[in-house]
DNA sequence: GTTCCTGCAAAAGCTTTGCAGAAGA
DNA sequence: TCTTCTGCAAAGCTTTTGCAGGAAC
């Protein structure tokens, strides 16, 4: 299923999650800004339209969305929790220069070593760190 | 080179890092406890022998060791920074039940997609989350 | 004697919690 | 009306910083 705002809204409805104005705005933001934003980014962007919005509500909403399985928490670096509306497995590259996060497809299932064969694996994360092509060009 | 206490001590000496009693004890702890401890774990274990040891010193020492390239910071989950004396690339599996971290060998270089070919990659981390074989057995 | 290290206390940053008022059904 | 949500303020954690005393050379 495609990750449209309408589809996700429908999914929440089916899970009996009440859809307040704030929650819908945050969900919409995540759909439109697939840059794995931090709470701070979501807050400062949405505050322009909703001056009374509080960070507490953002935290509450993100926790709710995570519980509902609609967003994934990605811990790319210490102290900055980021949220990803795309819950499919994919890799993340963080550029040390511009700070941007790049998604890339990667399927590591064939590489899982024998010693983990008896383990139950819930999530598989791949995280690279370096300098992106654009920043290399500029330098 | 093998990761022995003596080798690492020598490496620090060559880098002109002064080797205080506290620093050597922390380094020794990391060599002997390859479980990717948090600052809290290092602190509570070492405090038994060194009652005056402060967390500040542990933070300072770990930052120094990281700068010197002797330990790697691994951010497995939000809010718990862990330290790894083994700086070679390898995967980490965290068991949700017992909390232990398991290392496993994995070489993802062959899977790096074309779209990252122009990027400069400094570090490659693989992190799995799930339930380990032992906890599955018990349950 | 000079330099650097240690460790207490305070500060800083992110996230959670308590709670009263507001919104929604 | 009754339940749930919002958002302020305060608390909780981890990590960093300021600084005075102390260790090492």
- One DSSP character per residue, A5-21 reads HHHHHHHHHHTT----H
Which residues of chain A have a CB within 8 Å of the CB of B108?
106, 108, 111, 126
CATH fold, domain B5-75, is Arc Repressor Mutant, subunit A (1.10.10)
User: How many Å apart are CA A26 and CA A57, to the nearest integer?
Assistant: 9
For residue B77, what pLDDT is reported?
Answer: 73
Q: How high does pLDDT run on average in chain B?
A: 90
Of A108, A113, A118, the CB nearest to B111: A108
pLDDT tens digits, one per residue of A10-64: 888 888 778 899 999 999 999 999 989 999 999 999 999 999 999 999 999 999 9
Taking an 8 Å Cβ-Cβ cutoff, which residues of chain A contact chain B?
73, 75-79, 81, 93, 95-96, 102, 104-108, 111-113, 115-116, 118-133, 136
Q: Given a cut of 70, is residue B78 above it in pLDDT?
A: no
- What is the average pLDDT across B36-46? 94
- What is the average pLDDT across B108-128? 91
Residues of chain B with CATH 3.30.1490: 91-138
Q: Which nucleotides of C are covered by protein (CB under 7 A)?
A: 4-9, 13-18, 23-25
What does pTM read for this prediction?
0.87
Residues of chain A with CATH 1.10.10.10: 5-75
For residue A7, what pLDDT is reported?
Answer: 84
Backbone torsion region of residue B99, taken as left when φ is above 0, otherwise alpha when ψ lies between -120 and 50, otherwise beta: left
Q: Given a cut of 80, is residue B129 above it in pLDDT?
A: yes
B83 CA to C6 C1' distance (Å): 21
pLDDT band of residue B29 (cuts 50, 70, 90) is very high
Query: What architecture is domain A91-138?
Result: 2-Layer Sandwich (3.30)
Which residues of chain A have a CB within 8 Å of the CB of B96?
122
Q: What letter would DSSP give residue A38?
A: B
Q: Which residue has the higher pLDDT, A44 or B96?
A: A44
């Amino acid at each position: 299923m495609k990750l449209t705002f309408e589809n996700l809204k429908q999914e929440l409805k089916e899970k009996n999650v009440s859809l307040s104005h704030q929650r819908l705005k945050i969900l919409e933001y995540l759909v439109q800004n697939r840059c794995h934003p931090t709470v701070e980014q979501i807050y400062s962007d949405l505050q322009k339209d909703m001056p009374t919005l509080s960070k507490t509500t953002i935290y509450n909403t993100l926790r709710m969305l995570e519980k509902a399985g609609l967003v994934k928490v990605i811990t790319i670096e210490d102290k900055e929790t980021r949220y990803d509306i795309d819950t499919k497995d994919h890799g993340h590259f963080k550029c040390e220069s511009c700070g941007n996060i790049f998604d890339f497809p990667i399927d590591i299932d064939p590489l899982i070593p024998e010693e983990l064969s008896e383990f139950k694996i819930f999530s598989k994360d791949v995280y690279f760190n370096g300098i992106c092509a654009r920043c290399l060009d500029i330098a």
